[in-house]
Each structure stands twice: as structure tokens, then as C-alpha cells.
């Protein structure tokens, strides 16, 4: 899958100076696009002979990055649920959609947290052989 890593265009009528101060949604997308670009660069760099010498710091970065993505996903879940709950009517037509969205975001945050733990465990597994990997 090919995805654009270009941040969304500034709203019409904005001057160049104000583009440095993106609104929160644009800032989030801009950083998410950066994560995508970095992930693709890590994938490409991993193909190079000798890349394994960076396995320990790479796994440490993955561990911390995945934990941060899990936390961000949980915050986005909470914000989405808050937004969808306003205004709350007695005949709440969005209850099922909110429940599905919440469960999906929770699963995603959980998988990211588990992946962070797996990266930490993989890093620990490299410890006994790290000298051989980094030579």
C-alpha cells in the first residue's frame, strides 16, 4: 500500500506564517505521517547487510514508540467517544456505533501495548548474543 506522507494543505486564506501553528487535528496528522515515513524508512534500512548491528537500539525505539502509540490511541478513543456523546439524547441512536468504535480502539491500543512488550522481550533476548550481532 502506498500512502502519502505529506501533511494536509493549510486552509485557504492562511498566510505562510500561520502554517507553523497547525490546529491540533492537522498537527496530529502531520506527526502520524511522520510515523509512517519513519516506519517505511526503518523497513527499507532493515534490508541492508549489517543492519542487525543496530538491533538493540532499534528494538528499544520500537518498544518506546509502540507504547506511545498505544497511549495516543487510547486518548483518541476517549476524545472520539466524548465527541460522539454530544449532545446526548434519550433516544441515543449512536450507542451501538460508539460501542463498536470504543471496542475497536481498545483492541488497537491493546495490540500496540502488547507489541511494545514483545519488542522489550525481543530486546532482552538479544542481550546474550549482542556482541555477536554488533560485530
Cell of 19: 502554517
**C-alpha closest to that of 10 among 36, 33, 21:** 21
Instruction: Please compute the mean of the pLDDT values over residues 118-135 and round it to a whole number.
Output: 95
Cell of 45: 534500512
- What span, in angstroms and rounded, lies between the C-alpha atoms of 95 and 84? 9
CA torsion through residues 82, 83, 87, 92, sign = negative
Per-residue pLDDT tens over the stretch 24-68: 999 999 999 999 999 999 999 999 999 999 999 999 999 999 999
User: What pLDDT was estimated at residue 12?
Assistant: 41
- What span, in angstroms and rounded, lies between the C-alpha atoms of 114 and 70? 9
- What span, in angstroms and rounded, lies between the C-alpha atoms of 108 and 49? 33
Q: What is the pTM of this model?
A: 0.79
Amino acid at each position: 500500500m502506498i500512502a502519502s506522507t505529506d501533511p494536509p494543505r493549510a486552509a485557504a486564506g492562511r498566510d505562510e506564517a500561520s502554517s507553523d501553528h497547525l490546529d491540533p487535528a492537522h498537527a496530529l496528522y502531520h506527526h502520524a505521517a511522520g510515523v509512517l515515513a519513519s516506519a517505511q524508512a526503518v523497513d527499507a534500512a532493515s534490508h541492508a547487510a549489517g543492519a542487525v548491528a543496530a538491533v538493540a537500539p532499534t528494538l528499544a525505539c520500537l518498544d518506546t514508540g509502540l507504547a506511545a502509540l498505544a497511549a495516543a490511541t487510547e486518548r483518541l478513543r476517549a476524545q472520539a467517544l466524548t465527541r460522539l456523546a454530544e449532545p446526548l439524547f434519550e433516544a441515543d441512536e449512536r450507542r451501538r456505533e460508539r460501542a463498536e468504535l470504543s471496542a475497536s480502539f481498545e483492541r488497537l491500543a491493546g495490540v500496540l501495548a502488547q507489541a511494545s512488550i514483545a519488542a522489550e522481550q525481543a530486546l532482552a533476548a538479544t542481550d546474550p548474543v549482542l556482541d555477536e550481532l554488533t560485530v
